[in-house]
Amino acid sequence: MIRNDDLIENIKLDIDKRICDGINVSILAKKYTLSEGHLRRLFRYSINRTIADYIRSRKLTISLDDLLKTNINILDIALKYGFDYEQSYIRAFKREFGITPGDLRKISRERAQAM
């Protein structure tokens, strides 16, 4: 039987691998043969954060590469990472990082040009 810590680490790896594939609690619960409620409780207990918050945070963090290293427009980045609307992505991004994605991209490019 797998330990809870190992299970959580496997789930986190799965989330990162499938971040653009619409990963959610239901899919993870089925894969690991857990009820959604049990998975939510286990995740919350182990990392003191809801699994939905964790997934959203990972989507935003991983989207930073596209935002800062490509010219992909913000709407396309939002859609790639499973946000239904550009505004949803912008609001979540600002809540997570304290700055809008457009402002971060602009600042990053200004700093790169100044070097």
Q: What is the pTM of this model?
A: 0.89
Query: Phi-psi region for residue 22, left (φ > 0), alpha (ψ -120 to 50) or beta?
Result: left
Which CATH architecture does the domain made up of 4-114 adopt?
Answer: Orthogonal Bundle (1.10)
The sign one gets for the Cα dihedral 87, 64, 95, 27 is positive
What's the angle, vertex CA 80, arms to CA 86 and CA 41, rounded to 5? 90
pLDDT digits (tens, 9 = 90+) for 53-101: 999 999 999 999 999 999 999 999 999 999 999 999 999 999 999 999 9
Which residues touch 1 (CB under 8 Å, ≥6 apart)? none
Q: Write the CB contacts of 55 (distance below 8 Å, at least 6 apart in sequence).
A: 15, 19, 23, 24
Q: Residue ranges per domain, the chain?
A: 4-114
d(CA 44, CA 114): 43
Residue range 5-52, pLDDT digits in tens: 899 999 999 999 999 998 999 999 999 999 999 999 999 999 999 999
